[in-house]
Structure 1
Amino acid sequence: MKYQAKNQAFSQAADGIVLGLYENNEFSKSFNEIDLAAQGYLNRLIQSGELTGKLGQTLLLRDLPGVATKRVLIVGCGKKGELTERRYNQLIQSMLKALNNANIREVVSYLTEIEIKDRDLYWNVRFAIEIIEHTNYRFDRFKSEKPESTALESLIFNTDCPQAQRAIAHAQAVSAGVKAARDIANMPPNICNPAYLAEQAKHLAAEFGALSLEVIDETQMAELGMNAYLAVSRGSANPAYMSILHFNNAPDKNAKPIVLVGKGLTFDAGGISLKPAADMDEMKYDMGGAASVFGVMAAVAQLDLPLNVIGVLAGCENLPDGNAYRPGDILTTMNGLTVEVLNTDAEGRLVLCDALTYAERFEPQLLIDVATLTGACVVALGQHNSGLICEDENLAADLLHAAQQTTDKAWRLPLSEEYQEQLKSPFADLANIGGRWGGASTAGAFLANFTKKYRWAHLDIAGTAWLQGANKGATGRPVALLTQFLINQTK
């Protein structure tokens, strides 16, 4: 969809305009102006009770006297001063539904005048675009009958403020990144395997000149001693590939990069420690970390951020066969630590530990790994917050700030010596699980053993990467959080 920011008087002809109305008869400047031109028609609707301003209420008016536009959509904004981001989301979705039902193709929005609690015009515009793009998303590649496209094609924000122009650019890039992540994650696992991830990374690198790609195959992994990563892959007919996207765009091309590592289990049956059959189809989403890193790299390239960023897609598949790794196996990881396997369904940390060691060669200024790592994180935080584990106070604060800015929420989980105690093994340096309690933190503690040479943070997105039930599908999280984090690094 096309987005613009410019001043456009309601006296100019347009397909439609959108006005906000607060409860308790509190009007915006434009609402008053249009009511005056329409000789008090809007006020009479309020007096009759047809307009209340309740959150999400919509009323479409046609051929208002004194107004050139054909249609005027009034959207209820609730009580002034109480419009939160969540309520704004409801408001924009109500607006979008009404506009599409009315078959309006181009609309001028005066909702730039309404106030979102603790937010400015930039976020008013940016949130609107991201909500619209997220709502309009469809994954219908495998449907024989495609749903009709939405009617609305163009949205003009009634402002010429430079903030709005910047918001449009940022929102479009973030939305494109979210869509890219959702598209890959929603692909069925018989198509989206590690080789498919590498192929999509190749296409992305071809699209943006500042991006380049290298792919590490299983032969190279064996030469590097990535035995934990390879052990997970052994049970699958689809070989593992680690796809590495380089975005070298800082003024100083030799500046140390920010590295993002995404867990890319394109399907996780649990290996020999086989998962229950119920909902196993959703284990195609176990590559949500790699999908989100892919989406962030797309957004960063579109924004042309002056940064050096490396995105690692750790592609692998975890299946049971006669060659699969077993509970009781002891693996020697790339950095030399040995790991006793107690559960083959705790495979993501085994893939990541070698990917994290491999990333040392980039001498990162900081590294963030993203993974659908533990069901324990879902139990702890539900589907609302990603779990953040980070010992670096400044890095943790920066990530939580980006989460707050974007409403791509995260919550910090503890990481202390006690969790390392749970990972002790009588036969190896580490066990790959730490028992029933504190599973999200013990998983983070496991990874911490492989991140001693750089600043590191871990995002567990097991609860936020996809939705279940009637709305089943990838969310594209935490693309917005990480892209905002990187935007903030440029300031």
Structure 2
Amino acid sequence: MNFELKTLSLPDAAAHKCDLLVLLVPDGFKPQADALSVLAGRAIKDGDLELKPGKLLPLYGVPGIAARRLVLLGCGKGNAQAVRQAVQALGATLKAPSVRRVALVFARDAEAGCVGAAVRALADASYVYTTTKPKADARALSRVTVGVPGGLETARPEFSISVALVAGIEYAREWANRPANHATPTLVGDAAKALAKHAGIQCKLHGPAQVAKLGMGAFLAVAQGSEQPLRFVELRYDGAARSQAPVVLVGKGITFDTGGISLKPAAEMDEMKFDMGGAASVLGVFRALAELRPAINVVGLIPACENMPDGRAVKPGDVVTSMSGQTIEILNTDAEGRLVLCDALTYAARFKPAAVIDIATLTGACVVALGGLRSGLFASDDELAGQLMAAGDAAQDPCWRMPLDDEYAEGLKSNFADLANVAGRAGGAITAAKFLQSFVGDVPWAHLDIAGTAWKSGAAKGATGRPVGLLLHYLLASASAPAAKRRAAAPRRARAA
């Protein structure tokens, strides 16, 4: 889908030729003499248009309006959150086969963040998965014009970021939505390799033999019950000097999770294809980085495998040796995500990173704690935690910081290994994070538990692409921070007399 940002006054919008013209009307709208203003003002006065976000009035073949269809769309206070909520209400309209060109126009100057929110919401509302649905109608929408009455240069940076973010989110959704037989570890590796066609991105794939040579006994243990060979994906984006320490993103890549010998219930087990949501988000971030090319170095690590229950599968009570040398008693084979992640976290240390962030659909306990609104955030570093919280708020992809008290690790003690892979049910999301923390060392580290936010169930079943937005905003802020610090540290020149 192609996006363009354009200056469009309301008279210009009325003359703009497209299949669908959407006018975002906020509280306090004051009509002028042009046709669109008069129409919107009359609809408000007569009570046919409410300005609550998402309330809309569809019209067709309106005299004086060049677009075939017109939607007057209430957007409440007109802030980013209200705009996003409003545009999401257009879902069915945007998916109509006859709607190929859309103009989304602000009735007054857009506040900061509104243009980006509109782009992301429009892409989300019009998204259609078709990879394994050959008879489905593909997304007809091909061109979107975002019109603002003024302030074009002010809006352009957030517009560019949001267009790149849409590309990343849709790449993540594509791979998380695919059935497991269309998203095997090998195919996930191929998706990463395809990203290396973009300038600045490199990809290295490690197979079972290389992973064994690295000593990743925990990762190997999870993969050993599947006929699908594992892949350890290593992506690099080099946008800054080699001397600049990279941020390492580690994404859980369980392409299907049966639970292993600790077998899951059959109901809704099909949704365990989404258990590679962390891996999909790393792929999505790199897709967005390819568009934006920020001045930062980023490494992406994806341990990808299936968790299956055949005769070779790891058993409850087995003890394995991780890459770090620590031994792990596997009390529950369905707590496999932390096993593949712990070896990847150990591997991450070789890059001498500025920060390490792992992303995983890790625990049902996090879903119970936070539902589907916020991702769980665990962090060893207050500054990193604050930066991720701020990035989530900016991206409308929020998270919430959870505790990491040392006492929570008591339940991970084992009589037969250095630590067990599970503790009791209480505080399950926290004890999982404490397990991962044992493999991080002193580097600033954060863990995002996205079990509640990576996908939706029910009628809206499908991947969300979260937390690509949060991660990209964090990386862009990190890219600008070194330059700002250098400017602050530079000696001031005396003014000429």
Q: Fold match, TM over 0.5?
A: yes
Per-residue CA distance 1:199-227 (angstroms, 9 max, x = gap): 11111112x12111111211112112111
Aligned twin of 1:60: 59
Do the aligned partners of residues 45 and 307 (structure 1) sit closer, same or farther apart at CA in structure 2, a change above 3 Å counting?
closer
CA shift, 1:167, in A, is 1.8
Aligned twin of 1:19: 23
CA shift, 1:392, in A, is 0.2
Q: Please tell me whether residue 201 in structure 1 is matched to residue 192 in structure 2.
A: yes
Q: Please tell me whether residue 89 in structure 1 is matched to residue 91 in structure 2.
A: no
Report the AA paired with residue 314 of structure 2.
Y
For 1:99 and 1:428, locate their aligned partners in 2 and report how far apart those are by CA, in whole Å: 56
Per-residue CA distance 1:344-391 (angstroms, 9 max, x = gap): 111111111111111111111110000111111111111111110002
For 2:435 and 2:39, locate their aligned partners in 1 and report how far apart those are by CA, in whole Å: 66
Helix, strand or coil at the partner of 1:238:
coil
TM, length-normalised to structure 1: 0.90
Report the AA paired with residue 461 of structure 1.
I
Do the aligned partners of residues 418 and 304 (structure 1) sit closer, same or farther apart at CA in structure 2, a change above 3 Å counting?
same
Aligned twin of 2:492: none
For 1:68 and 1:376, locate their aligned partners in 2 and report how far apart those are by CA, in whole Å: 53
Helix, strand or coil at the partner of 2:441:
coil
Q: Please tell me whether residue 296 in structure 1 is matched to residue 285 in structure 2.
A: yes
Q: Please tell me whether residue 8 in structure 1 is matched to residue 8 in structure 2.
A: yes
For 2:276 and 2:266, locate their aligned partners in 1 and report how far apart those are by CA, in whole Å: 19
Of 343, 366, 389, which residue of structure 1 is paired with 2:332?
343
Number of residue pairs the alignment of both structures matches: 474
Aligned twin of 1:434: 423
For 2:134 and 2:427, locate their aligned partners in 1 and report how far apart those are by CA, in whole Å: 45
Of 422, 431, 436, which residue of structure 2 is paired with 1:447?
436
Helix, strand or coil at the partner of 1:50:
coil
Do the aligned partners of residues 235 and 19 (structure 1) sit closer, same or farther apart at CA in structure 2, a change above 3 Å counting?
closer
> Is the Cα–Cα contact under 8 Å of residues 257 and 306 in structure 2 kept in the other structure?
yes
> Is the Cα–Cα contact under 8 Å of residues 4 and 155 in structure 1 kept in the other structure?
yes
For 1:213 and 1:15, locate their aligned partners in 2 and report how far apart those are by CA, in whole Å: 44
Let me know the Cα RMSD of the aligned residues: 2.3
Helix, strand or coil at the partner of 2:213:
helix
For 2:91 and 2:319, locate their aligned partners in 1 and report how far apart those are by CA, in whole Å: 55
Q: Please tell me whether residue 111 in structure 1 is matched to residue 129 in structure 2.
A: no
Helix, strand or coil at the partner of 2:403:
coil
Of 361, 364, 372, which residue of structure 2 is paired with 1:375?
364
Aligned twin of 1:181: 172
Q: Please tell me whether residue 129 in structure 1 is matched to residue 114 in structure 2.
A: no
Q: What percentage of aligned pairs have identical amino acids?
A: 43
Aligned twin of 2:490: none
Helix, strand or coil at the partner of 2:469:
helix
Match runs of 1:478-489 below 5 Å: 478-489=467-478
Report the AA paired with residue 57 of structure 2.
T
For 2:246 and 2:213, locate their aligned partners in 1 and report how far apart those are by CA, in whole Å: 25
CA shift, 1:89, in A, is 2.5
Aligned twin of 1:326: 315
CA shift, 1:154, in A, is 2.8
Helix, strand or coil at the partner of 1:32:
coil
For 2:320 and 2:154, locate their aligned partners in 1 and report how far apart those are by CA, in whole Å: 53
CA shift, 1:444, in A, is 0.4
> Is the Cα–Cα contact under 8 Å of residues 381 and 387 in structure 1 kept in the other structure?
yes
CA shift, 1:5, in A, is 2.3
CA shift, 1:14, in A, is 1.5
> Is the Cα–Cα contact under 8 Å of residues 58 and 69 in structure 2 kept in the other structure?
no
- Structure 2: gaps (5+ residues): 481-497
Helix, strand or coil at the partner of 2:128:
coil
Helix, strand or coil at the partner of 2:446:
strand
Of 161, 166, 172, which residue of structure 1 is paired with 2:157?
166
Do the aligned partners of residues 6 and 347 (structure 1) sit closer, same or farther apart at CA in structure 2, a change above 3 Å counting?
same
CA shift, 1:198, in A, is 0.8
Q: Which moved more, 1:143-152 or 1:383-392?
A: 143-152
Helix, strand or coil at the partner of 2:303:
strand
For 2:362 and 2:356, locate their aligned partners in 1 and report how far apart those are by CA, in whole Å: 17
For 1:6 and 1:128, locate their aligned partners in 2 and report how far apart those are by CA, in whole Å: 14
Per-residue CA distance 1:141-170 (angstroms, 9 max, x = gap): 222312153457332322352232212211
CA shift, 1:105, in A, is 4.8
For 1:96 and 1:322, locate their aligned partners in 2 and report how far apart those are by CA, in whole Å: 47
Do the aligned partners of residues 59 and 472 (structure 1) sit closer, same or farther apart at CA in structure 2, a change above 3 Å counting?
closer
For 1:295 and 1:464, locate their aligned partners in 2 and report how far apart those are by CA, in whole Å: 15
Q: Please tell me whether residue 212 in structure 1 is matched to residue 202 in structure 2.
A: yes
